[in-house]
Amino acid sequence: MEIKELGHLVLYVRDLGRSVAFYRDVLGWRQVFPDPSDPSGGTPRFPAAAFSAGRTHHELLLIEVGDDAAAVPAGRRLGLYHFGLKVGDSDDELRAVLDQIQAAGVRIVGATDHTVTHSLYILDPDGNEIELYVDVPGVDWKSDPALVAAPIRPLRL
């Protein structure tokens, strides 16, 4: 077997409306299901919403599990740590993203220079950590894969 690419990510969420607003309106994902232009909101078979950046039919699926679902535990644990979303190709674009998320009241929980990427870290409404990043122009990690494990530094935008 050969993995060709990471296809999609599925997240359980407490409140679908709140999470749709975050991923669609704050992060700018294009909602593909249910059709946001349909005034009835569509009639999903289960409470879910799908989003695409255009690469495939959906890269993100949210499934509502309700208010009584257990929270993401804090600290070191097994399972998902964070997922990364490429938001541009330059620090200027990352600065614009920083302005947008701050204007939306999103708290930044980290900012790191990884040598190969410059990254901002935020939490979604359910506490899932998201890395918003740009690849650093001119860094040739394909020729020097050790750059991927370079020591992290504070990000200076």
- Looking at the structure of the chain, the number of domains it has is 2
Asked, for residue 70, whether it belongs to a domain, the answer is no
pTM score over 0.85: yes
Answer whether residue 82 shows pLDDT above 70: yes
Share of the chain above pLDDT 90, in %: 83
Average pLDDT of 123-136?
A: 97
Domain residues for 109? 82-154
Answer whether residue 46 shows pLDDT above 90: no
Is 52 exposed, middle or buried, given 0-12, 13-18 or 19+ CB atoms closer than 10 A?
Answer: middle
Q: Which of 18, 33, 64 is the last residue of a domain?
A: 64
Distances (CA, A) of 24 to 28, 103, 105, 113, 124: 5, 15, 15, 27, 12
Instruction: Give, as one character, the DSSP assignment of residue 56.
Output: S
* pLDDT at residue number 26: 97
- Model confidence band, residue 72 (pLDDT cutoffs 50, 70, 90): confident
* pLDDT at residue number 74: 84
Asked, for residue 72, whether it belongs to a domain, the answer is no
Asked, for residue 117, whether it belongs to a domain, the answer is yes
Q: 59 and 91 share a domain?
A: no
* pLDDT at residue number 138: 94
Report the CATH number that the domain containing residue 128 is assigned in CATH: 3.10.180.10
Asked, for residue 20, whether it belongs to a domain, the answer is yes
Q: 17 and 60 share a domain?
A: yes
Asked, for residue 71, whether it belongs to a domain, the answer is no
Average the pLDDT over each of 65-79, 93-107, 113-127 and give the range with the smallest value.
65-79
Q: How many helices (H) and strands (E) does the chain have?
A: 2, 9
- Model confidence band, residue 73 (pLDDT cutoffs 50, 70, 90): confident
Is 29 exposed, middle or buried, given 0-12, 13-18 or 19+ CB atoms closer than 10 A?
Answer: buried
Asked, for residue 48, whether it belongs to a domain, the answer is yes
Q: Which residues contact 115 (CB under 8 A, 6 or more apart)?
A: 136, 139, 147, 150, 153
Asked, for residue 73, whether it belongs to a domain, the answer is no
Q: 100 and 142 share a domain?
A: yes
Average pLDDT of 135-145?
A: 94
Q: Which residues contact 21 (CB under 8 A, 6 or more apart)?
A: none
Asked, for residue 145, whether it belongs to a domain, the answer is yes
Q: 148 and 86 share a domain?
A: yes
Average pLDDT of 15-41?
A: 87
Q: pLDDT for 106-124, tens place per residue?
A: 999 999 999 999 999 999 9
Whole-angstrom Cα distance, residue 79 to residue 68?
Answer: 20
* pLDDT at residue number 37: 67
Q: 56 and 92 share a domain?
A: no
